Amino acid sequence: MPVKLSWELLWSLPAIVIAAALSLVLTWLLMPLLQRYALAMPNARSSHKLPTPQGAGIAVIAATLVTTAAFVSVMRTEASFYALGATFFIAVVGAADDIRSLPVLVRLLAQAIAVGAILSTWPGDIRIFPLGPPWIERTGLLLAGIWFVNLVNFMDGLDWMTVAEAVPITGAIVALGLLGHLPPMTAIAAGALGGALIGFAPFNRPVAKVFLGDVGSLPIGLLLGWCLLELASRGQFAAALLLPLYYLADATITMLRRLFAGETIWAAHRSHFYQRATNNGFSVLGVVGTVFGLNLVLAALAIASTLVASFTAKIIALIAGAAIVGLILFRFSRPRRLAP
């Protein structure tokens, strides 16, 4: 059920600029404190070799939430402040985990509370898969939301990786909002998040001067998941699946492979496809550049899938996206061929 296009959706464009500027300034101001109190030491999962400050997600999430709340309040548009509150809550949990590692069950419980808070605001008549009792669908969405929050966190293990993933997704969500497929708040929140990540990007370019930390990656996963859920609930399931398809494929295949190998799936590791690519001779810029280009293609396919009514065309778009993602994963898993 597409949302009627209105002037309010155009506010997602200045939200990008304001959030980018705010994130840039806040990250710059936080750098001395993060260098002193929030160093990330290299471990089995790390791609960095030297202690590097983490926690710049504070600036990214602050810029996102402040910009979104300000625009929505001024516009007096329909808003879901539960989503912003849940994002703030999971950011606090992430900050605590950055300072002192929390037990896995505590993290999962906090994530379940955040995802559950968002799902609790959904009207009972909104269904993505109208098969079976609604409680089964809501339970499935809760588990999917927790997994999505975690996979974004898992995939934040390379300089610029989250930027290369989230900026194309948020850009596509803004475009879909302008096309009338999403309400103003969703488009504005996506624009603010994308802008905030652009403001953070200069500090995270290889070799990174600072990392997001869990205070950034966890709420980014929650916000992206909420935006994609809003898209799917409006009949655009193909687009909602295409946009994060690379992250979904890399993280899920890696988890299943480690599970079947009898490994502890929550332990630090370097077996994601993007991590294997750096071990196979790809440069960091080569990997994130490939992921960014792939996500632009997926974004184009997602937008195209919303412009056609044919179910067959949407399936073809999904198959095309899956094939391209599969080729990239295969390429990352093999040693890079050097020119003679």
Please report whether residue 337 resides in a domain: no
DSSP result, 62-98:
HHHHHHHHHHHHHHT----HHHHHHHHHHHHHHHHHH
Q: What is the pLDDT of residue 46?
A: 57
Please report whether residue 66 resides in a domain: yes
Instruction: At 52, give phi and psi (nearest 5°).
Output: -135, 135
Domain that holds residue 183: 7-332
Q: What is the pLDDT of residue 45?
A: 60
Directed axis angle between helix 214-233 and helix 134-155, to 10°? 140
Number of domains in the chain: 1
Q: What is the pLDDT of residue 40?
A: 72
Please report whether residue 1 resides in a domain: no
pLDDT at 338 exceeding the cut of 60: no
Please report whether residue 2 resides in a domain: no
Tens digit of pLDDT for each residue in 129-177?
A: 777 788 788 899 999 999 999 999 999 989 999 999 999 999 999 999 9
CA 7 to chain centroid: 27
Q: For residues 198 and 16, is the Cβ–Cβ distance under 8 A?
A: yes
Please report whether residue 340 resides in a domain: no
- Give the integer Cα–Cα distance in Å for 81 and 69: 8
Please report whether residue 338 resides in a domain: no
| H-helix or E-strand spanning residue 157 | none
Please report whether residue 114 resides in a domain: yes
Count of CB atoms situated within 10 Å of the CB of 179: 16
Please report whether residue 200 resides in a domain: yes
DSSP result, 108-144:
HHHHHHHHHHHHTTS-TT--SS-SS-HHHHHHHHHHH
Q: What is the pLDDT of residue 76?
A: 65
CA 282 to chain centroid: 23
Q: What is the pLDDT of residue 124?
A: 66
